[in-house]
Amino acid sequence: MPTLIHIIEAYGLWVVFIAVLLDQGGLPTPSYAPIIATAALATDVGKPLAPILVVATLAALIADAIWFLGGRRFGAQLLRLMCRISLSPDSCVGTTRRIYEKWGAPSLILAKYIPGFAAVATTLAGQAGTTWRRFLIYDGIGALLWAAGAVLLGAIFHEAVESLLTTLEEFGHIAIALLVLAGAVFIAYKWWHRQRFLRGIQMARISTTKLRAMLDSTPGIVLLDVRSAASRAQSGWIPGSIQVRDITELKARPTDEVVVYCDCPNDASAATVAKKLKGLGFANVYPLEGGIGAWRASGLPVEHS
């Protein structure tokens, strides 16, 4: 049976390419460790490190380009799908969108250092209409720096890495089982965190049909848009809705009926704000089921500046 060190020595570039492609493609597989290990063993035998850097950067760019193309073609639908299956639905689009809207394409340089940011950021770049040239420049810089960091770590700590690989080989199948167990524990923890979050935002929703009827018949309804200013300006808003930077600035009475909407999967942002408003004493607060996407899909009016 080939040893772990032998596999990396013989097929290191393929290991790096596949690991990075899967990781940047969205699968929970490690990619930094294979780059470090391959660079460490290459340093030990005096092989050049440039091919490892090129392969890792290229694999990352290919994966990112696929997400970017998907964002250009499918936009919000792809983002919703990504966050529906994400292990971190609370930060999947909301946090990433705020970062990308603030910094734009240059944020792609640091995207790979922020957990959960890379794939969503490249998809957002495509949805936002970023040009291929601009995308490839900033994402290429980011991919190169990210890969260079792993290669550099492997080269500097090559003796420690080789010692670790030798130790893992001595443990044989036990080491593989421990690595698999560690990965399973990590995924289980993220899944538990996801379920906890989804349970936390469970509350009664209001449908678009019912909201339209209420707006026509009940005066004084407060319709709160919790999207960013850039998203609101780009895609429009439900007539009569307002936006506040902080919910404590909301000019409403605790007895008012408040409907909160967003454009995120599971109505996560809207439900989170609705929970906070309930904590502030607002009794009649409801997230809009499906957000502005459901409102628009129902053929209901949307205002633009």
Q: Is residue 303 part of a domain?
A: no
Residue 126 shares a structural domain with residue 61 = yes
The percent of residues in the chain predicted with pLDDT above 90, rounded, is 19
Mean pLDDT score of the chain, rounded to an integer? Answer: 81
Are residues 68 and 158 both part of a single domain? yes
- Per-residue pLDDT of 220-267, as tens digits, reads 888 999 887 767 887 888 998 888 777 777 888 888 889 999 887 677
Report if residue 305 sits inside a domain: no
Q: Look at residues 179, 200, 221 and tell me which one is the last residue of a structural domain.
A: 200
CA atoms of 69 and 49, how far apart (whole Å) = 30
pLDDT in tens, 60-114: 999 999 989 988 888 767 766 666 655 455 555 555 666 666 777 888 888 888 7
* Six-digit token string for 280: 């502030």
Q: Print the SS3 string covering the chain.
A: CCCHHHHHHHHHHHHHHHHHHHHHCCCCCCCHHHHHHHHHHHHHHCCCCHHHHHHHHHHHHHHHHHHHHHHHHHCHHHHHHHHHHCCCCCCCCHHHHHHHHHHCHHHHHCHHHCCCCHHHHHHHHHHCCCCHHHHHHHHHHHHHHHHHHHHHHHHHCHHHHHHHHHHHHHHCHHHHHHHHHHHHHHHHHHHHHHHHHHHHCCCCCECHHHHHHHHHHCCCCEEEECCCHHHHHHHCECCCCECCCCHHHCCCCCCCEEEEECCCHHHHHHHHHHHHHHHCCCCEEEEECCHHHHHHHCCCCCECC
Q: Which residues contact 200 (CB under 8 A, 6 or more apart)?
A: 275
Say what the pLDDT of residue 150 is: 92
pLDDT for the residue 65: 93
Work out the average pLDDT over 49-70. Answer: 93
How many CB atoms within 10 Å of residue 103? 14
Specify if 149 maps to a domain. yes
pLDDT value, residue 53 = 96
Same domain, 216 and 195: no
Check whether 8 has a pLDDT greater than 90.
no
Domain boundary among the residues 168, 184, 200 is at: 200
Do 151 and 252 fall within a single domain?
Answer: no
Residues 157 and 114 in one domain: yes
Whether residues 39 and 124 fall in one domain:
yes
Last residue of a domain, one of 200, 222, 237: 200
pLDDT above 70 for 3: no
Q: pLDDT: is 122 or 118 the higher one?
A: 122
Residues 93 and 189 in one domain: yes
Please state the domain count of the chain: 2
Shared domain check, 232 and 160: no
Residues 48 and 190 both lie in one domain: yes
Same domain, 175 and 32: yes
Same domain? For 82 and 164 the reply is yes
Mean pLDDT confidence for 194-209: 73
Is 271 among the domain residues? Answer: yes
304 in a structural domain: no
**Domain hosting residue 218, numbered range:** 208-297
- Specify the higher pLDDT residue, 207 or 95: 207
pLDDT at residue 56 tops 90: yes
- CATH assignment of the domain containing 244: 3.40.250.10
User: pLDDT by residue (tens digit) across 120-152?
Assistant: 788 888 877 889 999 999 999 999 999 999 999
Is 239 found in the same domain as 98?
Answer: no
15 has a pLDDT exceeding 70: yes
